[in-house]
């Protein structure tokens, strides 16, 4: 009977330590996403400050999303309209998302700058593709900042470019993200 009580008490103490050792979720409410299409006849640039993200340090999960219609800065209004309506079909596919996990073990409780990779599912234009995103994660005083650059081949996501404008839109879109994550307050 005594051994049983000791085992139960040890289990409860171990679980309590585990529960309190978990790190808080990190949330980004307004990250930056920049896109660039550098084709032979035209350079197209746009950006959005409406990117949102979440990091769960305990499970190593990392996710972000951006509303497609939040991108601004095109060369002209008609270019923006074509991009939103004809290529990304933003009414049908309003979000671009990534959901994955960090490959490396990251010491979220230790300030520093780390090279990281996240493997997961990128959903653009309703087509999900597995991707590995490489970036830099900087941890400082309960916050984390991710900066990453990656390429998105338009054909991978079912985006077709008419032959008449093929010289104006790149086959791969350059994407840069920069997000500042803050620890969620415990309730």
Residue 4 lies in a domain: no
Cα dihedral angle (12, 101, 136, 129), rounded to 10 degrees? Answer: -170
Asked whether residue 9 carries a pLDDT value surpassing 80, the answer given is no
| pLDDT for 59 beyond 80 | yes
Q: Looking at the 3D structure of the chain, how many domains does it have?
A: 1
pLDDT band at 5 (very low <50, low <70, confident <90, very high): very low
Closest by CA to 173, choosing from 100, 99, 96, is 96
User: Which pLDDT does position 144 carry in this prediction?
Assistant: 96
pLDDT interval class at 180 (50, 70, 90) = very high
- Asked, for residue 138, whether it belongs to a domain, the answer is yes
CATH number of residue 171's parent domain: 2.40.128.110
Residue 16 falls inside a structural domain? no
Q: What is the pTM of this model?
A: 0.83
What is the rounded average pLDDT of the residues 14-30?
68
| pLDDT at 6 (0 to 100) | 40
Q: The domain containing residue 106 runs over which residues?
A: 23-183
Question: pLDDT averaged over the chain?
Answer: 88
* Residue that the structure tokens 């081949």 belong to: 153
pLDDT reported for residue 186: 62
pLDDT per residue over 39-57, tens digit each? Answer: 999 999 999 999 999 999 9
Per-residue pLDDT reduced to its tens digit, 68-120:
999 999 999 988 988 888 888 999 999 999 999 999 999 999 999 999 999 99
CA distance 65 to 73: 19
Please report whether residue 158 resides in a domain: yes
pLDDT given at position 16? 39
- In this predicted model, which residue has the larger pLDDT, 20 or 109? 109
């Amino acid at each position: 009977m005594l051994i049983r009580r000791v085992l139960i008490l040890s289990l409860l103490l171990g679980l309590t330590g585990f529960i309190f050792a978990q790190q808080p979720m990190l949330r980004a409410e307004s990250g930056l996403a920049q896109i660039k299409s550098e084709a032979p006849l035209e350079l197209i640039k746009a950006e959005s400050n409406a990117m949102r993200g979440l990091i769960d340090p305990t499970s190593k999960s990392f996710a972000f999303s951006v509303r497609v219609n939040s991108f601004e800065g095109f060369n002209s209004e008609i270019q923006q309209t074509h991009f939103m309506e004809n290529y990304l079909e933003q009414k049908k596919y309003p979000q671009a998302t990534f959901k994955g996990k960090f490959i490396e073990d990251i010491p979220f409780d230790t300030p520093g700058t780390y090279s990281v990779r996240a493997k997961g599912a990128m959903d653009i234009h309703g087509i999900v593709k597995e991707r590995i995103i490489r970036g830099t994660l900087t941890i400082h005083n309960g916050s984390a900042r991710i900066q990453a650059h990656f390429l998105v081949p338009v054909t991978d996501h079912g985006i077709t470019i008419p032959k008449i404008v093929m010289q104006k839109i790149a086959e791969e879109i350059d994407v840069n993200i920069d997000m500042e994550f803050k620890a969620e307050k415990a309730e």
